[in-house]
A = this chain, B = another copy of it.
Amino acid sequence: MSKRKICVVIINRANYARSKSILEAVKKHPGLQLQLVVGSSTLLYRFGNAVDVIRKDGFKPDMIMYSIVEGENPVTMAKSTGLALIELTSIFDNLKPDMVVTIADRFETISTAISASYMNIPLAHVQGGEVTGSIDETVRHAVTKLSHIHFPSTKASRKRIIMMGETGNRVFTVGCPSIDLAANLACTLDDVRTRHEKSGVGGSIDFTKPYILVVQHPVTTEYGLALEQINETAKAVAMSGMQAIWLWPNVDAGSDDIAKGLRIFREKFNHPFIRYYRNFPPEEYLALLKNAKCIAGNSSSGIREGAYLGVPCVNIGTRQNGREMGKNVICAGYNHKQILKAMRFQIAHGKYPSNKLYGDGKAGMRIADILARIDVKIQKKLSY
């Protein structure tokens, strides 16, 4: 019997981290054939050429696509969505997948969803039903309405998906695939140190001493405020006196502002203990997260993987508004005093117990199993 062709579309580094265990499980599954599409910011130097990491991990892209319209503002995000939609449609038309898997809530996610929908290809969506801030939430729920199979991370997310009118027996609480990596982490801090002594720019980091991790993305619905917002975080980090590993933001409306803010900050203060990095492979990132005294910013990784790993997290601003959080998270506004206070509390507190809120480390395997056996009716119906 021919294998079911599962096409997974990877479009940025976070995306890859959240689908790596799915890729592995689909690749290994006897009833499935993996079709891998890699595009968008994964191909860009500015975002750390994630495609190289993907290749080094043993995955060979069946197709690649450049689809980012440059500008990092609301206009170019919308245009990039359109360009990715055109490109992905040609790709699906040539690869002829039996099912398409799309992850999370970025603009390429909805490009993937619309393309598969119109092409009558059953669509599986990972990480639906979550409540957060920004345009991402809006897009995430729209993708839910386009999807045939849902793989939410949490029970509360599953419930919300069903309330939105999706049929319950198509909604599977499998946990977040990013937890799979955290649960099976072989990479150590020492590995990271060895590999990255020369990468990054800015101050120097002694990996044997305590450090904090900072990741702050622009909030697209607050476009124009990113520069100011990043300043508050930068001040708090500088005042904390801790070493800091600072990651470059995603490509998004406003990321230019953040990059600009970081550059100004760096030029001006030339802070000796803050070092800036473009990208880490998922496992190295998790090793950094696991060993951080605290993660600050607005990345969901502090909340998701942070919960499982018990890493103290200071969540800044509105980007994660409404997301389910474990006890490891303290929230702060865009205000350096609030941020600093929360960071100090978290550093003093130290590790939290592991919390399985976002999964137990077996999501990828569950997803592959379900994709191998499920039958999908293309015509969707509201459940009420």
Residue positions of A touching B, CB distance < 8 A: 43-46, 63-71, 74-79, 81-87, 89-91, 93-94, 107, 110-111, 113-115, 117-120, 131, 133-135, 137-139, 141-146, 160, 163-165, 201, 220-221, 223, 251, 253, 256, 260, 263, 267, 318, 322, 378-382, 384
Given contacts A142-B145, A381-B322, contact A201 B65 (CB under 8 A): no
Structural contact, A64 and B93, CB atoms closer than 8 A: yes
Contacts of A263 in B (CB 8 A): 201
Given contacts A78-B118, A85-B81, contact A142 B146 (CB under 8 A): yes
Q: Could you say which residues of chain B place their CB within 8 Å of the CB of A146? A: 138-139, 142
In angstroms, Cα B63 to Cα A72, docked, is 19
Which chain B residues border A66 with CB–CB below 8 Å?
69-71, 75-76, 79, 90, 93
5 further contact pairs, Cβ within 8 A, besides A67-B69, A70-B70, A82-B115: A82-B89, A117-B138, A138-B380, A142-B142, A318-B379
> A89 and B118: CB pair below 8 A?
no
Question: Known: A71-B44, A81-B114, A201-B267. Is A120-B380 also a contact (CB below 8 A)?
Answer: no
Q: Are B63 and A83 in contact (CB under 8 A)?
A: no
Which residues of B sit under 8 angstroms from A145, Cβ to Cβ?
A: 138, 141-142, 144-145, 164
**Cβ–Cβ < 8 Å partners of A115 in chain B:** 78, 82
Closest chain B residue, CB of each to CB of A85? B82
- Kindly list chain B residues whose C-beta atoms are within 8 Å of the C-beta of A223: 120
CB-CB nearest 3 A-B residue pairs? A82-B85, A82-B86, A78-B118
What's the Cα separation between A152 and B107 when bound, in Å? 27
Task: Give complex CA distance A65, B89 in Å.
Answer: 10
Chain B residue contacts of A120, Cβ below 8 A = 74, 135, 220-221, 223
Q: What are 10 inter-chain pairs, A to B, with CB distance below 8 A?
A: A45-B256, A63-B90, A64-B94, A65-B90, A69-B69, A82-B86, A113-B142, A160-B382, A163-B163, A322-B381
Point out which of A64, A89, A110 has the most chain B C-beta atoms below 10 A from its C-beta. Answer: A89
User: In the assembled complex, which residues on chain B have CB atoms less than 8 Å from the CB atom of A71?
Assistant: 43-44, 66, 68
